């Protein structure tokens, strides 16, 4: 975060207290974020307006901006954005993944090294770190993105890395990482059920199915199918899904997980579970 961000925060602190509230809410979930924020506030405290303005002057000139009158409804003033206004930026992050490592934050270089060996990517993905504790891994095409997603579960130094596709409404402040991508194996899945629609229907019993892996798609391995599903982890992961076949017979399809996240309902965080009081 540069001095710009801090300046804006100070200016608005008189009217909108939410600016400070939200980072604190985040910090409660991730200890390291809190430390970082405190550090930033301290650094800021030692600065005077004069040298902050001076710093701003030195900044390299970038995009040119202009005044656009805010919308006012019922006396409330706000900046009104259209789909058109955010289109170009959403395009830039179209194939981005959000990554979060439970319990620790590796360096960007370590993350780059890890990602590089996970697939044969057409273009090397760009990796960014966000102070809220997330990595953004920006791929240039859908194939590269799905390659990384499908070779999980991802672990670094024995700690799981949680990945999820970035959506246009992803908010670093409010994100609570309750829905994450999990690889689910379907052992002994009847061979008639390996079509995209059958796998989609079965996966929808767990969450939002995104992909089947290569071996499932090409039927090169037939003892189990693997699908990648976005699942709400605040509820216990199911070990079966009930299926009714075209003959009207019900069967229970077993589900295997290589990695099951632990979710703490008290801290609203993945990675541990506080002991419940007796």
**Residue 124: how many CA atoms within 13 Å on its side-chain side?**
9
78, burial (CB in 10 Å: exposed 0-12, middle 13-18, buried 19+): exposed
Residue placing its CB nearer to Zn ion in the complex, 25 or 126: 25
Q: Taking the complex as a whole, how short is the minimal distance between the CB of residue 260 and Zn ion, in angstroms?
A: 17
Q: Taking the complex as a whole, how short is the minimal distance between the CB of residue 265 and Zn ion, in angstroms?
A: 8
Residue placing its CB nearer to Zn ion in the complex, 113 or 266: 266
Q: Taking the complex as a whole, how short is the minimal distance between the CB of residue 240 and Zn ion, in angstroms?
A: 28
Q: Taking the complex as a whole, how short is the minimal distance between the CB of residue 32 and Zn ion, in angstroms?
A: 15
Among 155, 210, 264, 268, contact with Zn ion (rule: CB under 5 A): 264
Write down the residue that tokens 């960007």 correspond to. Answer: 108
Residue placing its CB nearer to Zn ion in the complex, 177 or 186: 177
Per-residue b/e over 30-55, b at no fewer than 16 CB within 10 Å?
Answer: beebeebbeebeeebeeeeeeebeee
Among 39, 86, 262, 274, contact with Zn ion (rule: CB under 5 A): 274
Decide if 250 contacts 241 (C-beta within 8 A): no
Among 113, 221, 242, 266, contact with Zn ion (rule: CB under 5 A): 266
CA distance 208 to 30: 27
Residue placing its CB nearer to Zn ion in the complex, 24 or 274: 274
Residue span 212-251 as binding mask against Zn ion, x where in contact by CB under 5 A, dash where not: ----------------------------------------
Piece of 1-9, 42-50, 210-218, 257-265 that binds Zn ion (CB under 5 A): 257-265
β-strands 134-138, 96-101: how paired?
antiparallel
Here the tokens at position 239 are 């070990």
Q: Taking the complex as a whole, how short is the minimal distance between the CB of residue 142 and Zn ion, in angstroms?
A: 36
Does position 267 interact with Zn ion (CB under 5 A)? The reply is yes
CA distance 265 to 39: 28
Under rule CB under 5 A, how many of the chain's residues touch Zn ion? Answer: 4
Residue placing its CB nearer to Zn ion in the complex, 53 or 274: 274
Kindly compute the dihedral angle of the four CA atoms of residues 55, 58, 61, 66, in this order, to the nearest 10 degrees. Answer: 50
Residue placing its CB nearer to Zn ion in the complex, 17 or 265: 265
CA distance 201 to 209: 9
Give me the residues that bind Zn ion (CB under 5 A), please. 264, 266-267, 274
């Amino acid at each position: 975060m540069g001095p710009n961000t801090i300046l804006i925060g100070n200016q608005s602190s008189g009217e909108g207290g939410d600016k400070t509230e939200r980072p604190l809410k985040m910090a409660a979930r991730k200890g390291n974020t809190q430390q970082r924020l405190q550090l930033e506030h301290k650094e800021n405290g030692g600065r005077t307006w004069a040298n902050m303005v001076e710093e701003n002057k030195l900044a390299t000139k970038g995009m040119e901006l202009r005044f656009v009158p805010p919308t006012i409804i019922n006396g409330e003033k706000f900046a009104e954005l259209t789909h058109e206004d955010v289109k170009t930026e959403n395009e830039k992050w179209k194939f981005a993944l959000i990554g979060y490592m439970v319990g620790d934050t590796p360096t960007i270089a370590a993350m780059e090294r890890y990602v590089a060996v996970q697939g044969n990517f057409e273009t090397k993905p760009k990796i960014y770190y966000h102070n809220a504790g997330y990595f953004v891994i920006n791929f240039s095409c859908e194939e590269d993105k799905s390659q990384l997603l499908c070779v999980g579960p991802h672990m670094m130094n024995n700690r799981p890395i949680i990945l999820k596709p970035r959506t246009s409404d992803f908010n670093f402040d409010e994100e609570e990482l309750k829905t994450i991508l999990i690889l689910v194996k379907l052992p002994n899945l009847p061979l008639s059920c390996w079509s995209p629609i059958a796998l989609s229907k079965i996966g929808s019993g767990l969450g939002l199915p995104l992909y089947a892996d290569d071996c499932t798609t090409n039927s090169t391995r037939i003892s189990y199918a693997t699908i990648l599903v976005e699942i709400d982890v605040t509820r216990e992961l199911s070990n079966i899904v009930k299926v009714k076949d075209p003959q009207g017979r019900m069967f229970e399809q077993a589900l295997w997980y290589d990695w099951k996240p632990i979710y703490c309902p008290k801290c609203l965080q993945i990675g541990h579970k506080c002991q419940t009081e007796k």
